[in-house]
Copies of this chain bind each other. A is one copy, B any other.
Amino acid sequence: MIKNKKQHGGLRSGAGRRLNSGIYGEPTKVIRVPKSKVFDIKKYIIHSQAANVFNITKIKPSLSYQPLNLFEHKVSAGFPSPADDHVEKKLDLNEYLIKQKEATFFVRIKGDSMIGIGIHDNDIVIVDKSQKAITGDIVLASIDGDFTVKLLSNNKSKYRLLAANEKYKPIEINKSMQFEIWGVITGSIRKFK
């Protein structure tokens, strides 16, 4: 059988994979980076598609708080002294970060699995369980017993959890999975010192 040809396939228009059909959903570029940063960069880019596993410490919210003075001042040229009296409105960290204090709790994040959305090890996130999570919200959810913080999207009555960058493949939630939304992340705090 030297020339038994023509079996399947063949030239046709429209064949081949689509543009930007890769995991990044956009054109890519090759760059050189220091070896020690490769892991961090990939974590930043790819951002775990699976549920993040992390330890949490729950902290109950403040029971009450009191609005305090807030000075705010736009600076572009010089640095304003903190003593400047350009008072614009009041600011209290509790008030600023908590809307529904009865329904709010804090979770201390352990691990670096959420760096892609700017949440680092030992940060505390503020969770409001009274808010109905809508598309685009960052939520605290549990999937099969693992807690995760992700962007929520729902697509025709199906929940999907997206990584920081919406281009990445979502976690589709199906009936066989234990799934629960614990609340909406409304903020985060970090203590350096």
Contacts of A105 in B (CB 8 A): 71, 82
Q: Assess the A59–B68 pair: CB atoms within 8 A.
A: no
> Are A29 and B24 also in contact (CB < 8 A) when A76-B55, A93-B62, A94-B93 are?
no
A138–chain B nearest beta-carbon distance, Å: 5
Partner of A28, one of B32, B45, B63, B138: B32
Q: Assess the A63–B59 pair: CB atoms within 8 A.
A: no
Copy total for this chain: 2
Q: Assess the A82–B69 pair: CB atoms within 8 A.
A: no
Q: Is the interface of A mostly helix, strand, loop or mixed?
A: mixed
Within A137-173, which residues are at the interface with B (CB < 8 Å)? 137-138, 142, 147, 165, 167
Within A17-55, which residues are at the interface with B (CB < 8 Å)? 24-38, 41-42, 44-45, 55
Q: How many residues of chain A are within 8 Å of chain B by beta carbon?
A: 78
Q: Assess the B29–A32 pair: CB atoms within 8 A.
A: yes
**Interface CB pairs A-B, < 8 A, 6:** A31-B31, A36-B165, A37-B165, A59-B91, A82-B103, A187-B190
